[in-house]
Chain A
């Protein structure tokens, strides 16, 4: 049954939004039940709030595995409370906690509505709703970080300042001897209020912020933002620009995967493998600079097209480099498979069983390593992906080794996608000016290296941002992290465990 049929069966009469979007609304009292009914066997891709003046909206974005459209089910609240969806659909849990801390809208019936990011903030401060008039005072609140108590249980705090050049975050290890009984991440140290900063600004300024949501997924998030804005304004993108965007999306995936695999190898003490992947990552970053003038591809995309034209000499260099990368990455991955000290540490480490992954609607390589056959490039084709063929790896083991295998499999696939694009290259000069602005709202998405990035942009007639919701993959994939930590690992597994997830803090904290 398609998404629209399912919605009609539930008694809704969905209207059409931007291409591929269905919009439906219901009364606040029906929302939780309706969402749960629609979500039976479907995927909760996002659940977020928008508050403009007195208008308080909660919206769920729902999709089906075999349907390329999205259904946005929304409700206008008449108070600061709404019935929690979480008791019916577990994947809603972290989204609702975010709605509560950022907007002060209370999910009634949520089993544990504690803050995710704002740990010592006063309840009255709702940063996404009211903005921030000035410095936020610190309040002492009962420690909401779960901990294990008992004889022989040791609590070991890690962070927020980490050991090497890494992102800041805190983890509380509860260990019984060598066993990791529980790990409680304390996230949110890097909360910058990126989306709130964009409100009232031009789409161009929003794009600059979207590029800085997270460094290693710069392009994917900028692409999702740009597509949301373009779809909201009804702007069509010419083929040459769509192809260029596809190419850069894959180039970013390559440098991300090289980097993540390098860190897993490092965590396992394989210095040569780590150096090999670091070398490949640097080469991919240099090619990014050659093609766009920025190692992380910043400033390359524009609302309505591309801000730069990819130079022909750079594309020829890329063509040669791709062959080299393939001839380097495949034997390195084979050698990893043949290295017992590597596979032994990864096998059965940080297990995420498929049923658990499905319950959390995980995305990206982490989901694919736990049996979820999802990929926004295929399920919701965008840019030029509809015209290319590639294989999507899906494994069911759900351990660190499966995640590594998904990454190593995706590298030659990305290389093949870029080579196919280069075979049929359309030269496209850079976009000169912004498209005419028109009010509206839409979703935009891309398959970021870490999984589906889903953005929502609402823009007014003057082209100013009213609301920008960014749901990068890390927002979904941090959710099961603590569970995976507790799946029979020991303390020394932790570096491997964390590296195999390769989750971004900047993307989560925002």
Chain B
């Protein structure tokens, strides 16, 4: 056993300084695609909607008068729009992309003669973004027990969740713990499209959790379905089934984005991201 201890110590400390500081080494992968509504031309808007493999980018109208909706709940981060219109679409590597207000997940641009930005599109669920803040922070700010349910994922999200327990991220240092039983859980973290077979187990897990409880939707499948959105087998999006407190975009969300989502859920981080370009301008 002593050889294992020496072996463990020999690699030194690997753990990310996030969230105290940004961690450039862990930010190699993009966390989300942002649309810069100021640079977008109608031409690019129509081309981008054409090239998008999901319904993340949808357009109506033509070059003279039209509209483009960018809905991050369907974005699988394939990067096709980024390559086709690099001035208007860019990858953000800032991992702080989780939001509690779903209206930040979609943005709409319309044009008639000149290009102009409209307000974010209305979310199709009512008042799902609960006010997070002091109450949750007092209750769960020091310790949050998380029950994860895979509701029909590709296993990419689980792979990233498993990485949270690795020395690089070490979620326990932040007071987050995975728990096997819903009875001990404060938060339900859901990945996947919510398949027909997993809808019931998901609901029952939620019902078995004591109040108060939080729900985190992680990954594009849980947010909106991504490339599975059109499948009748996908019963999601998750916020149609359960009240969602935090949305973490990504395909899959990076470990840092997941950490940000959990911190946001307990009121220890701010939501900064919006699909139409955030204040930080990464």
Contacts and interface: CB of A to CB of B under 8 A. Distances in A.
A204 B4 CA distance: 47
Contacts of A279: 11, 14, 166-168
Nearest to B202: A161
Contacts, number: 192
A482 interface: no
A163 B180 contact: yes
B46 to A, nearest CB: 18
Nearest to A286: B28
Contacts of A168: 149-152, 192, 198, 201
Contact of A275 (B8, B159, B162, B182): B8
B156 A216 contact: yes
Size band of the interface chain B makes with A: 35 or more
Interface in B180-228: 180, 182, 189, 192-193, 195-198, 201-202, 205, 226-228
Contacts of B152: 168, 189-192
B21 interface: no
A272 B5 CA distance: 7
B242 interface: no
A135 B11 contact: no
A165 B5 contact: no
A163 to B, nearest CB: 4
B269 interface: no
A218 B14 contact: no
Contacts of B168: 278-279, 282
A108 interface: no
A296 B156 contact: yes
B239 to A, nearest CB: 19
Interface in A124-180: 127, 132-136, 160-168
A165 B11 contact: no
A132 B233 CA distance: 8
B67 interface: no
A282 B163 contact: yes
B78 interface: yes
A133 to B, nearest CB: 7
B37 interface: no
Interface string A257-291: 00100000000001011011011011001100110
A188 B197 CA distance: 8
A494 to B, nearest CB: 15
Q: Pick from B53, B161, B164, B202 the residue with the most CB of A within 10 Å.
A: B53
A212 B154 contact: yes
Contact of A192 (B8, B148, B233): B233
A505 B148 CA distance: 16
Contacts of B154: 212-215, 218, 506
A326 to B, nearest CB: 15
A18 interface: no
Contacts of B166: 275, 278-279, 281-282
A286 B26 contact: yes
A270 B8 CA distance: 11
A435 interface: no
Given A278-B165, A293-B91, A331-B7, A208 B196 contact: no
B266 interface: no
Contact of A164 (B76, B78, B180, B205): B180
A119 B198 CA distance: 12
Interface string B134-151: 000000000000011111
Contacts of B259: none
Nearest to B146: A165
Nearest to B205: A161
Contacts of B228: 192, 194, 197, 212
B158 A167 contact: yes
Contacts of B162: 164-165, 259, 278
Given A190-B152, A275-B8, A286-B29, 16 more contacts: A132-B231, A135-B235, A165-B189, A189-B152, A191-B233, A208-B53, A214-B155, A215-B155, A275-B167, A276-B8, A281-B166, A286-B26, A295-B254, A298-B78, A331-B7, A505-B155
Please list the 9 inter-chain residue pairs (A to B) with the smallest Cβ-Cβ separation, ordered nearest first. A215-B156, A278-B166, A165-B161, A289-B29, A289-B28, A163-B180, A132-B232, A272-B8, A215-B155
